[in-house]
Each structure stands twice: as structure tokens, then as C-alpha cells.
Structure 1
């Protein structure tokens, strides 16, 4: 069975996603033009809305790849509509990532869509389904950093540039964390089809705790510092100047005082 068996209504983009996309566009425009009375609020809304858009695209990529791999049930489950409320549990997929974004400036992986793996044939297909989500974050990061690595920053307002740099940081952190070979995360899903049955059975009980394990590691200073060293190294390789993503983070947190070097000018 192929994607042609999906009903047209199951592909229709959700008004919820279109609304989030509209908020992203409007607040992005407000950030660029300095239209908002409080620019930090515009940056907050722009980055938050864009982050939710990326979460939706991440889960959609899993579902779309699964559809072409043989799981036609993703249509009936609403996964092809880009509606964030359809992706697993709203708490794991949307709320927790938003909390981590607001509290710590980290792109935490959300919950994955439910794929009926018994419908998928071939180990490569299983691996690709798992990889499709974080690869979307990689692509999103490339788009956000395009003005930097293309040297096209002339005329780009400083607050918009900082917002893009911070959004790119979120995408890079999400991609790295998702690709960790930890049970319950996409990275483990990539390698799982290639593991022996015995190993998979031994690892299976730990899958529900994988995300909590990563959560705990991020509170360990040595791990967190090493993690962000890698993140900033990738951003630097993509042309993002030192401090741009950090300034984007501080401006995003408009309710706190912004370091003078990062202060937004009207």
C-alpha cells in the first residue's frame, strides 16, 4: 500500500499549524522592523512560534517517511496535517520542549509519533524514519544560519540577526540530542534495526527513561559545558559570530535585564 491510499482530508494542513505559521511571520516582521513597543516581546514570540513550527515539521518528517515506508495509518492519526496537538502527547511533544526553551535555551527533543513498525519492511527504512526528524532540525538550522554562512548580513537588523542565531542554536541542540543513541530517542531508533534481538530485548526496559536520562545529564556541569562547546563550535563553523546566539537568548528572555552588549536598539 502506498501514499495514494491516504484520503485527501488526511493531508490537509491544520488551521492550528497555519495559525502558528502566521504568528511566526507577523512576529518575524515585527522583529525585523522594530515595530513592537517592546522588541524583546517580538523576539520571544517569533522564536517561540518558529520553534513550534520546527517541532511540527520534525514530527511530520517522521510520519511522512513512515507513510512512504508502508505505514498508511499515519494519515488517519492526523500526523500529516502538521497539527501539533496530534503528535503523541501534547505535554511531551510541545509543552516540555517549550519549558526547556524558556528556562534554559535548549532545544529538547519532543515525543515521537506512533509508527506501526510492523508495517515497515527493511532495516534501512526503519533507520530513515527515525533519522527524518532530526534531519529536519539540521535543515532548519541551515536555513536559519544561511545569512551568516552566505555573508548576507548587510541590512539585517541586529535583533533579527540575534533571534535567528538563537533559533539556530535551538535547532542544533535538538539535532544533537535527538541523534544520541539513547533508548527512546531518534538516535537509538536509527541503530536499533541493526542490533541483535538479544541486545534489543536487554535495552527495551530502559526506553521510557531515555529522555529523563538526557534531562539529568544536562544538569551535570561538565556534560552541559562540553555539550555547548560542541554546539557553539558547529554554529561558528556555520558563520554565526561569537555571542550572537547568546545575545539572542538574553533578548528572548525580555523579562530579565539584557547585557549591555546585547541591548536592542530601536
Structure 2
């Protein structure tokens, strides 16, 4: 293979996929529709949140792959992980379908599946930890980009108030786009917080795993496929759910969103199929 062909192959491995551009187009169009009051606001919020959530999942997995590339795993490009194409990830069900279902069912930003990193190509425990930490850090950055404008009041638009259970909240700083940003930001924080738990199968465990003994890693390995499902089952327990969301709302306050009603109204708008 010639040098030019090699360069072209690498360029194709890192070219942003049309699928990701479509997600961005849906995100931008639905955001404009919600902001301008065009169409059904609740369905617009639904599209905005789902598209934004999928975009963040793509960026989450891309961060893992990109960090792995710099860590020594040169195979991530050939696998399509650097194209931001959601269809290229190892498990579509775990990476995208289940997280979206969890958002719809419980308003929880449960982290999704994975990219397959060839760990034997990467030397050094710190590099392995950084690869695992890269995804949750992306969620934290997304949360900041979404929540800081909400906390600062940059998106407030009294001209397009939220309608809640048939009553207009006119005169209040709750516009549909503000609430959509807040709810999507809440999902980002919940995903980051959950993913940083040191539970097998989640990134938090991937951060600490390189520092554990070989015997401990071998003992924990069989439980990795069930870690995420176990966490989700625990979140259905009212006491655990309440404690978790108290923590998430506490983090939102750190980003300047002191009024929990923004995210709550965003979640209500998101569920357009309910009265």
C-alpha cells in the first residue's frame, strides 16, 4: 500500500459519518422549533432531548476511542469508532437503545455500551484509567454547556411560556427551550455520576481496575455484564432513587441552576404522549 493510500485510509477512518450529521441536524432543527414556538412544543422537546442524548452518547464513545488511539490502540480507526457513527459501536442495544429506553421510562441518563478497546496494546495503568475516564468527562462538559446558560438566564423567554397540565406559566422564566436544556443537562449529570461508580461494567470500575490485583480482577470479571442492569434495578427502589436524584440536583445547583422546576418541567414536556 502506498503512503498516499495509507493517508487516505486514515482520513476515511476519521471522517465524521452522515449519521452523526443527521443527529446534529435533528438537534438543531428541533431546538430552533422549540425556541421559535413552531409546531408542537412537547414533541419538539422530545426530539431535542433524544437527539441531544444520542449526540452525547456518540461523543462519549468517541472520547474513549480517541484516548485509546493516543494510548496505543491503533485499531480503533479501522473499527469506525472515530467517525462518530452510532452504527459502528460494539453493541447498538447497549450503547443506544437501552439508554434511550431508560430515559423514556425513568428520566435517567443511564450510561450505555462500549467500544472494544484492545487493552493489550496499551502500556501503563494510568493510560487505561484515562481511557475509561474520558467518557464521563465528556458528559460533564456537555452538562456544563447545557446548564450554565440555564442558570445564567440566557434562554429565558417569557413570550413562549410552558403549559403545565393545561395551565400557562406565563410571566415565569420557564420557556420550553430552557426546560429542555435543563432536562438534557440533568441526563448528562446522571450519566456521569452513574458511570463513575466503581461497578463492574461501568467506566468507574474501568478507572480503578488497572490498580487492582490480578486475582481481584479475575474474581470480578464474571459480574461485568450485569453491573449496569444491577444499578438500574437499584434505581427503581424509591429510597435509592430519591438519594440519587438529590445528588444530581445538588450538582445542578453547582452549575447555577438552583430551581429544580426547570428540569422537572423539561421531563414533563419530554413525555409528550402523556396528558
TM-score, normalised via structure 2 length: 0.89
Q: Whole-Å Cα distance in 2 between the matches of residues 151 and 121 of structure 1?
A: 46
CA displacement at 1:67 relative to structure 2: 0.3
CA displacement at 1:46 relative to structure 2: 0.7
Q: Which position in structure 2 is the counterpart of 1:262?
A: none
Q: Whole-Å Cα distance in 2 between the matches of residues 174 and 113 of structure 1?
A: 17
Tell me if structure 2 keeps the 8 A contact 1:6–1:72: no
Q: How does 1:134-149 map to 2 (within 5 A)?
A: 134-149=136-151
Q: Deviations over 1:77-132 (max 9, x none)?
A: 00000000111111110100010111111101100100000011111100000000
Q: How does 1:135-214 map to 2 (within 5 A)?
A: 135-155=137-157, 158-214=175-231
CA displacement at 1:237 relative to structure 2: 2.1
Q: Whole-Å Cα distance in 1 between the matches of residues 18 and 116 of structure 2?
A: 22
CA displacement at 1:242 relative to structure 2: 2.2
CA displacement at 1:146 relative to structure 2: 1.7
Q: How does 1:207-222 map to 2 (within 5 A)?
A: 207-222=224-239
Matched, 1:247 2:265: yes
Q: Deviations over 1:159-187 (max 9, x none)?
A: 10000000000000000110010001000
Give unpaired runs (5+ residues) of structure 2.
1-6, 161-174
What is the aligned length? 253
CA displacement at 1:54 relative to structure 2: 0.3
Q: How does 1:1-266 map to 2 (within 5 A)?
A: 7-36=10-39, 38-155=40-157, 158-240=175-257, 241-257=259-275
TM-score, normalised via structure 1 length: 0.92
CA displacement at 1:211 relative to structure 2: 1.0
Tell me if structure 2 keeps the 8 A contact 1:43–1:163: yes
Q: Whole-Å Cα distance in 1 between the matches of residues 50 and 156 of structure 2?
A: 25
> Aligned pair in 2 of structure 1 residues 235, 99: CA closer, same or farther (>3 Å)?
same
Tell me if structure 2 keeps the 8 A contact 1:24–1:49: yes
The root-mean-square deviation of aligned C-alpha atoms, in Å, is 1.5
What SS is found at the alignment partner of 2:77?
helix
Give unpaired runs (5+ residues) of structure 1.
258-266
